[in-house]
Amino acid sequence: MHIQEKVNIQPFVTLAVPAVAKFYCEIHSQQDLLEALRWAQAKGERVVVLGGGSNVLPDEFINALVLHIKLLGKEVLQNTDTQAEVQFGAGEVWHELVMWALSNGFYGVENLALIPGTVGAAPIQNIGAYGVELEHCFKSLTAVNRDTLHEKIFTKAECDFGYRDSVFKKIAKDKYIITQVTLVFNKTISAALDYPALLSTVELLWQHSRGPFKPELISPIDVANAVIHLRQSKLPDPQQLPNVGSFFKNPVVANAKVEELKQRWPDIVVFNVDENTKKIPAGWLIDKLGWKGKEVNGVTVHKQQALVLTNPNKLSTACVLATASAIQASVLQHSGIALEIEPQCIA
């Protein structure tokens, strides 16, 4: 364990906002973690956890010990004819996990390809894309209590997953540090293609490389390739244009609210959640109100995906949040919907 003082963590944050940690430590082992937590307790310092830095909005000075989780490793716990159970270190890169799973004939996360971040961060917001969420293949996770330093295993039920939500954003927030995540994969081929854009992209790529489309032969690898194609066509690469991906959550509203909005926007896009509610793409609302491609306070609403705010000038979190607030106010005024932001603010 090596604790450093006043470390610039801007390179570790995909939004590229200026940020300095009072103390900083990379965590490569369980021992590193326990020693760092004991050090923080002895010094009376707060602890902030950093993973891939793809879903955070740090202050310019973080008055805390920042623990950068680098816990690696994969272990196949069970492997039958139909399923595989695998435990991953929290510092593993999520997209690399997806591709590793596919290369081993383990399926179920292909719709989540190219989502930035680490494995340990995935359960916190129950990452999801194109009709699939982490909870669909999640079994359990191991986490260390920040105060007692004891390990606890969280089952799926205990994680209390919701849309971009979990217990780690509620009563367990800032109480645990995730060290391992166990997933259960299917070994039988199936494809989740509920999103029309995803199916049409699978067909397009198929025809381009293999000729006439044969939907009965679609594989999980075909789905992953289509997801990667879609994300690369819509979302900017953070290394080229700083961003945190989707900045706002897609609001879930009652059916009555959708009918109300249809009076103003007959072409409104919605997705069924259950018999009483529907999900509205936040990017659609933002685009409809004319924000796509606009620059506000040096922060830009991406020209291809209005759900993404980019920070080409590497301005502060405060500047980014000011732009986000202006968008939220506009959407609330014209639709009555209060948009929530996805990334986590850390100070």
Number of domains in the chain: 4
- 338 and 295, same structural domain? yes
CATH code of 56's domain: 3.30.43.10
In a domain, 178, yes or no: yes
List active site positions.
164, 246, 342
* CB distance 44 to 339 below 8 Å: no
Residue range 211-227, pLDDT digits in tens: 999 999 999 999 999 99
Domain end among 69, 91, 110: 69
Asked if 79 and 180 sit in the same domain, the reply is yes
205 shares its domain with 137: no
**In a shared domain, residues 214 and 290:** no
Structure tokens at 136: 């669909």
**Which residue's structure tokens are 């009483």?**
276
Q: What confidence category does residue 169 fall into, taking pLDDT thresholds of 50, 70 and 90?
A: very high
Residue 32 lies in a domain: yes
Examine the domain organization and report whether 228 and 301 are in the same domain. Answer: no
Over the stretch 255-313, which tens digit does the pLDDT of each residue have?
999 999 999 999 999 998 899 999 999 999 999 999 999 999 899 999 999 999 999 99
252 and 324 inside one domain:
yes
Same domain, 12 and 29: yes
For β-strands 277-279 and 299-301, DSSP reports them as unpaired
Shared domain for 286 and 323, answered yes or no, is: yes
CATH of the domain at 149: 3.30.465.10
Residue 191 falls within a domain, yes or no? no
43 and 20 together in one domain: yes
Q: Tell me the C-alpha to C-alpha distance, in Å, between residue 185 and each of 22, 86, 117, 188.
A: 40, 8, 20, 9
- The domain in which residue 221 lies consists of 196-234
pLDDT in tens, 96-135: 999 999 999 999 999 999 999 999 999 999 999 999 999 9
Domain match, 262 and 298 both: yes
Residue 279 shares a structural domain with residue 338: yes
